[in-house]
Structure formats: structure tokens, C-alpha cells
Amino acid sequence: MFYFCFIHKATFTNSRKYQCKALFAYIVCISVYFNLTSIPYLFCLDFQSARTLSLAQGGRGGALLNDTITLNPSLLGFQNIASLSGTMNWLNSPSGPSPQAHKNFNVSVVDGKNEYVAAGVSFTRKPSLDVFHGSLAKKVAQWFSVGVSVKRFSTKSNSDAAAGKSKTGFDGGASFSIVSPPEVSSIPIQIGFTSDNLLNKISHEPFLGPRQIGAGTKININQLLLLYGDVLGHFPISAKAYPLFTLGSEFALGNDFFARGGLLGFKKEKGWGTGVGWVGPKIALNYGFQRKTYPQTHFQHALTLDLYM
């Protein structure tokens, strides 16, 4: 029988000495990435949880629980659990003539226990924008799942609303995911294919970004180290298409704690992310940090609390 492990926890038989050596190697690798690699940071998500932030916006092949709503809805079809999640995300802009801090708030709920269809809904409040997300997923085989998403945005500037200039709009996407059965690969591998902003109206781009087509993978090396890789194509209406690449890793510290890191970009900008997380039987707490280094410096933080039901 094939099983999908939604939090990739395991009972470790490795010695403490081995885990310390592995952690040291992980830190060295991440440090080399951060100092030697120049990879851009581009607009690609409506919202980032602490886990997504620490993986540098990656995870389309391995999104968990409420992250599936915005990253890859089809992966919810494999996750037989219900979850309530809340995130506070704040962005600091220390460079430039007027340093500012913007706070975003998100609350979401997913239900993967329904035998007919899994579903999730999300609400994100930004300084001048509200975004609602809804997603559906269906596992059509033990190794294959499909998903769809829809979202609605609305500006909440009082002056624009009073002048009848407030903007609203809809968009959405589709996705599918494949999980390798044990008889095919001894190393668990997940692959996800996603699309977003398929309507792609030019009036929506300042709020939701351009049309996006992407793919991602998650490789569970040995229940101790997980690797992520994403590629995301952006297709603006009035500009040339461009790609975005992300690389991420997640290191398990025993059964309950995780350390994460990631890089993203290609040509235009640079950025990286890191973070930590704790997963308990009915609750999880995660912190994520992301730094944009070029052309302007931005520091973004997020705290996410998940409750499992």
C-alpha cells in the first residue's frame, strides 16, 4: 500500500553524532549558496507562509496543508487531514528615501478528509488589497492528483472607493501532481505542475502579477534531508516572458524540528530565504525570513501557526 506522508516525519535511528555532522554539512552548503550564488528575486506569489518564505518561494512539488492553496492545489488531494492556519507576514524596506514596513495577514482552512473532493479557502489582507483564494483537489489514482483554484482581489483604498475607482477582479489556475510509488522509486519523489492567472487581464497584473506556468519537485533523500527545485515561467502581457528558478532544502532535526533554506531568481534581482519550524501532534509553528538584495534591499519575515484537526 502506498502512503503520502504530509509532514514527512519519521523515527530516526541515526546516532546523535551522525545528526550533528549532517547538520554541520547542511549549514556549510547553505552558507556557500548564500555567498557564492547570485540568483534573482521576482514577483511570483500572492501570499507566502513562513515555510514558503524560508524556501525562497519554492515548494510547488512539495507544498503541505494550507500552502497548497496558493502553491499547488492538487497536492491537497494526497493529504488526508484538515488544518486551520494563520500567518503574519511583514516586509521591511530599509533602503530608499522613505523606509517603510508593510504587514500582511492571512487565515486559511483546508479539508483533505472528504472522500469526494479536498478543498481549501484563504483570505489575505495587505495594506491596500484583499485577496480571497479557493481551491479544489481530487486524487484520481494512488499516485496522481488534480486541482483547480480561483481567486478574487479588491483594492481597499477609501479614497478610491469614494471616487468609484476601486478595482476588483477574478483569476485562477489549474495543477496536477505525481507521487512516485515505492515500487517505482526507493527514494520518495513528488512532481507538481502548476498554472496561475490564466485569464491574465492587463488591469489585473499590478495586483496579481502575470500569467505563470511552473513545475516543481521534492526529493526525500533519507527522511533527514529534503530537496526542492522549482522553475516558473512568467508571461506578462506587455513585456517579454522570463523564467524564475528556486532551489530549497529542508533538514530534519530529530522528529519534530526542521531547518530550511532556499535561493531564487535568474537575471533581474537577487534573493534568498531561511527559517525553522516545529511540528507537534496537533500544532505546528514556523518562522521564515527572506532577503531581497538587488536592486533594492527588502527584509521579509513571517510567523505561521497551524492547527491540525
pLDDT band at 41 (very low <50, low <70, confident <90, very high): very low
Share in percent of the chain as helix, strand, coil (round to 5): 15, 50, 35
What number is the average pLDDT over the span 291-297? 75
Average confidence (pLDDT) over 53-68 = 92
Instruction: Report the percentage of the chain scoring pLDDT > 90.
Output: 54
The reply to whether the predicted model has a pTM over 0.85 is: no
Tell which residue, 232, 234, 235, 227, has the closest CA to residue 245. 232
Domain ranges in the chain are 16-308
Model pLDDT, residue 10? 38
Q: How confident is the model at residue 101 (pLDDT cuts 50, 70, 90)?
A: low
Say which CATH architecture domain 16-308 belongs to: Beta Barrel (2.40)
Q: Express each pLDDT in 172-200 by its tens digit.
A: 999 999 999 888 888 899 999 999 999 99
Q: 4 falls in which pLDDT band (50, 70, 90)?
A: very low
Handedness of CA 268, 234, 86, 157 (dihedral sign): positive
Tell me how far apart the 2 most distant CA atoms of the chain are, in Å: 66
